[in-house]
Structure 1
């Protein structure tokens, strides 16, 4: 069944059907949903090659991942949400894997020159990030998951990293902790810089002197959490509470605490970021783990929404979103021992 036959079968014009299936914003939502439902019922699948010739689109978006920085549970969750959203408009995701920033920039050059993608998704912006300027010069649409240090004139979606860690640190101070360790993300990443600012400012406002030996940085993996916590516990004045940058980091912290013969919650309090992974449930841990919560999967869905609007011709260049982060308190967070 081709477009003409499908449009005739449901009693609508080819133009309306084509625009609805391509995600054009001027088509009413109820009309779009009706057409999608009928297409599924009648087994109609648009010819992507023909659609590409008619619209000048590739029918795909690109994302470039760097080894060591793009393969973790957070990325998996984000990609799941993004893929599910784009699949509703039959848009593919083209993933390129590179070793370093120079290869990443070269990949953008290739993608723009080959016209294999209609837009690019940038992730994990750094304080000295040049990728946004490069893509502007290449004149290829893009959206940033996160935000640049300048919060520039391009579409982006980010969570309130500053507010999340400021609130978590403040709570620990409120219940009596004065020595609070933090295992942050990699230095130079904008989100990690925002989290450190939240941590430092919460301490400063309570008159607590910042201790550099209680702040570490690194990838969000179990081993970093384990080794960082071991270092903390070896100090002459170890922390009574720790902020872990991710649930993966928190697993390492928990292992180190138990290896030292200490009890999580009683001897050392813990707050981790993210508790939205299906396979790492903070409610099922012993003890249950306090978290700052923000869904990476939902972020992927929302990035997909914005991309679809961009591809439909809507000007999203000034679009910016900052999502609040929820603090969820559980058994791993208690006042320090007297």
Structure 2
């Protein structure tokens, strides 16, 4: 009763059935941290559970958008199937707040004291559960960390008894050279919106001094010798001390301006800056790329999502 009174008074929150947390502390956590807290608490009462899909990706520490946690937690389900027979990686209706991902056998490992599906199975399940733009950053992060290989993902996918076209698409565009989840999200959105693929993390050097060079996020080498560049601007680039080397925002902006002038002098014809908001809203990104003349061959699904990386 005391817990209920505190909850009604707005002092505590119940993020999951039977769980309570101090409201101010809970609100200080981002969605990934909240998910990990819930998973650890669930594991205490249900130590046999193996976390899977998006939840496993978070436990493994792979970069992702926070929105993947909006639908709840995912666990491996070896018992429950469907009326027409059990199907691997088919996601069931939540039971007790948990989504069950059916798999005949669970390839598990332990991460931070929690039981989770291994990296390869986690990649496949994320590819089947999440939209392409949310799954690709996870795959890129896992590849960049050398936690999995494309062949390992392909092997798991080949063993499933269902259409794995989404996995084939992820393998086609997976690129661990993307620096972070935000860049992977931008890259996936560029692809999904039908633009030709950019070269990721291309290096441009000073033609008079090869020791001076800059690496850009995305580059297109178009007919006629025109070179176009797009840079993804996450806010951390300006305010995170780990990324700014504790420089002021004004100093970082000035250095960016110098960098752009030099790139334009060396080889680049035009530079577009893409913000997180540009990417998730899509139309601003589309307009910037079209204004530079980046060819657009088709249109993908127009999934939307606004969250942080």
TM-score normalized by the length of structure 1: 0.29
Structure of higher CA gyration radius: 1
**Higher relative CO (CA 8 A, sep ≥ 6), structure 1 or 2?**
1
TM-score normalized by the length of structure 2: 0.31
